[in-house]
């Protein structure tokens, strides 16, 4: 994969963030998502690559753009797999909350998990605990392993988990074990990556969320030396059939890093829409000048770049929405 692609991809997440941020706080999640998707789609068209969306917004019948199987890029250049989440946290943007971002992961063709948009059970840790955990361990055992790896007392360990009824038993067990629980409303890409960024103080991510978000987070964790393990959670016969159609013989198999993001290379890019643990959000500075904050990283070289950019929306009319 060309290293130039990393900087091309960050332009795509910047565009999605710039467009969707204009819907911040307006109570309209679908409009915010559409704005991000359209901007991402438009920018992708100028990137020299032959990309295919392998996991993303849904299948052709349910998503008009950035659907699984859609071809992206000029068609010239490297053949790559793409995982997209144009707006990670549509509700966040609608409500004006923290931690929304536009995210993309790419890898050489065939290297990203090809799966439907459905629920996925996940566990994520940073570099110290990578290689030591298992999604199949009871949560109490995982807490002991991660505490030891991160050289912390269990009472100082922070487990981040999405605030949902489906997680209540897990939350109760984590608290009973003595660790601290940090609940978040939406956006499990940022939450799982936070485990690999020491300054966040977050040690462990657990819970069930979206499969595309899982693959995207796994690419980021590969760049940062962390680990994710996952298992798809088909909710009915139809979802199982969709998994098999995409080549997953056992839809409930335990997915390791190599199954989620194979090979030694991957590129991850994200641009903040609203400020969060990892990134600052889009800031309107007045006079059509807008600031974005992005992170772009590559697994092969482990380079992590923070890109702060100033955009003049006068010169980007396609991103200057008429709201």
Q: How far is the CB of 121 from ligand VTB (least distance, A)?
A: 11
Q: How far is the CB of 147 from ligand VTB (least distance, A)?
A: 26
Q: Which of 56, 73, 89, 251 binds ligand VTB (CB under 6 A)?
A: 89
Question: Does 209 interact with ligand VTB (rule: CB under 6 A)?
Answer: yes
Piece of 48-56, 209-217, 218-226, 234-242 that binds ligand VTB (CB under 6 A): 209-217
Q: Which 3 state secondary structure label does DSSP give 134?
A: coil
**Sites for ligand VTB among residues 154-173 (CB under 6 A):** 164
| Structure tokens belonging to residue 224 | 């940062």
Q: Which of 34, 121, 203, 213 binds ligand VTB (CB under 6 A)?
A: 213
Q: How far is the CB of 124 from ligand VTB (least distance, A)?
A: 12
How many residues sit in the footprint of ligand VTB (CB under 6 A)? Answer: 10
> Do 323 and 22 meet the contact criterion of CB atoms below 8 Å apart?
yes
Query: Residue 323: exposed, middle, or buried by beta-carbon count in 10 A (0-12, 13-18, 19+)?
Result: exposed
In this structure, are strands 101-108 and 267-272 parallel, antiparallel, or unpaired? Answer: antiparallel
Question: Does 272 interact with ligand VTB (rule: CB under 6 A)?
Answer: no
Piece of 9-17, 53-61, 206-214, 255-263 that binds ligand VTB (CB under 6 A): 206-214
Question: Does 186 interact with ligand VTB (rule: CB under 6 A)?
Answer: yes
Q: How far is the CB of 262 from ligand VTB (least distance, A)?
A: 22
Q: How far is the CB of 301 from ligand VTB (least distance, A)?
A: 27
Question: Does 56 interact with ligand VTB (rule: CB under 6 A)?
Answer: no
Which residue, 209 or 226, has its beta carbon nearer to ligand VTB? 209
Q: How far is the CB of 209 from ligand VTB (least distance, A)?
A: 3
> Do 297 and 290 meet the contact criterion of CB atoms below 8 Å apart?
no
> Do 220 and 268 meet the contact criterion of CB atoms below 8 Å apart?
yes
Question: Does 210 interact with ligand VTB (rule: CB under 6 A)?
Answer: yes
Distance (Å, whole) CA 82 – CA 146: 31
Beta-carbon contacts of 7 under 8 Å, excluding residues fewer than 6 positions away, are: 296
Q: Which of 8, 34, 188, 203 binds ligand VTB (CB under 6 A)?
A: 188
Interface characters, 19-48, with ligand VTB (x: CB under 6 A)? ------------------------------
Question: Does 86 interact with ligand VTB (rule: CB under 6 A)?
Answer: no
For the chain, the distance separating the N- and C-terminal CA atoms, rounded to the nearest angstrom, is: 38
Which residue, 187 or 251, has its beta carbon nearer to ligand VTB? 187
Structural element, H or E, at residue 315: none
Distance (Å, whole) CA 104 – CA 213: 10
> Do 175 and 209 meet the contact criterion of CB atoms below 8 Å apart?
no
Question: Does 187 interact with ligand VTB (rule: CB under 6 A)?
Answer: yes
* Listed residue (113, 105, 131) closest to 225, CA to CA: 131
Q: How far is the CB of 261 from ligand VTB (least distance, A)?
A: 17
* Listed residue (170, 149, 134, 156) closest to 257, CA to CA: 134
Q: What is the 3-state secondary structure (H, E, C) of 47-59?
A: CCCEEEEEECCCC
Question: Does 276 interact with ligand VTB (rule: CB under 6 A)?
Answer: no
Helices (H), the chain: 4-21, 29-44, 90-95, 139-149, 168-177, 188-193, 211-224, 237-245, 257-260
Q: How far is the CB of 77 from ligand VTB (least distance, A)?
A: 30
Positions touching ligand VTB (CB under 6 A) are: 88-89, 164, 186-189, 209-210, 213
């Amino acid at each position: 994969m060309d290293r130039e692609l990393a900087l091309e991809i960050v332009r795509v997440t910047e565009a999605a963030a710039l467009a969707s941020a204009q819907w911040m706080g307006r109570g309209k999640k679908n409009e915010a998502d559409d704005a991000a998707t359209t901007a991402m789609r438009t920018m992708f068209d100028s990137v020299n690559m032959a990309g295919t969306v392998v996991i993303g917004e849904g299948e052709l019948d349910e998503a008009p753009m950035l659907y699984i199987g859609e071809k992206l890029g000029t068609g010239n250049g490297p053949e790559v797999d793409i995982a997209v989440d144009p707006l990670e946290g549509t509700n966040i943007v609608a409500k004006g909350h923290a931690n929304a971002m536009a995210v993309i992961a790419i890898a050489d063709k065939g290297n990203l998990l090809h799966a439907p948009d459905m629920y996925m059970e996940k566990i994520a840790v940073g570099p110290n605990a990578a290689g030591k955990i298992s999604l199949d361990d009871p949560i109490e055992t995982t807490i002991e392993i991660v505490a030891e790896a991160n050289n912390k007392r269990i009472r100082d360990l922070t487990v981040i988990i999405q605030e949902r009824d489906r997680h209540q038993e897990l939350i109760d067990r984590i608290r009973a074990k003595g660790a601290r629980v940090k609940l978040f409303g939406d956006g499990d890409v940022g939450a799982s990556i936070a485990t690999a960024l020491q300054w966040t103080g977050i040690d462990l991510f657990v819970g069930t969320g979206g499969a595309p978000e899982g693959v995207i987070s796994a690419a980021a964790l590969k760049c940062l030396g962390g680990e994710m393990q996952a298992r798809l959670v088909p909710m009915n016969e139809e979802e199982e059939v969709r998994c098999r159609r995409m080549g997953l013989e056992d839809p409930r198999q335990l997915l390791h890093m190599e199954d989620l993001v194979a090979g030694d290379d991957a590129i991850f890019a994200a641009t903040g829409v609203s400020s969060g643990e990892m990134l600052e959000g889009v800031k309107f500075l007045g006079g059509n000048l807008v600031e974005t904050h992005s992170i772009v990283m590559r697994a092969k070289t482990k380079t992590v770049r923070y890109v702060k950019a100033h955009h003049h929306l006068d010169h980007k009319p396609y991103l200057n929405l008429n709201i």
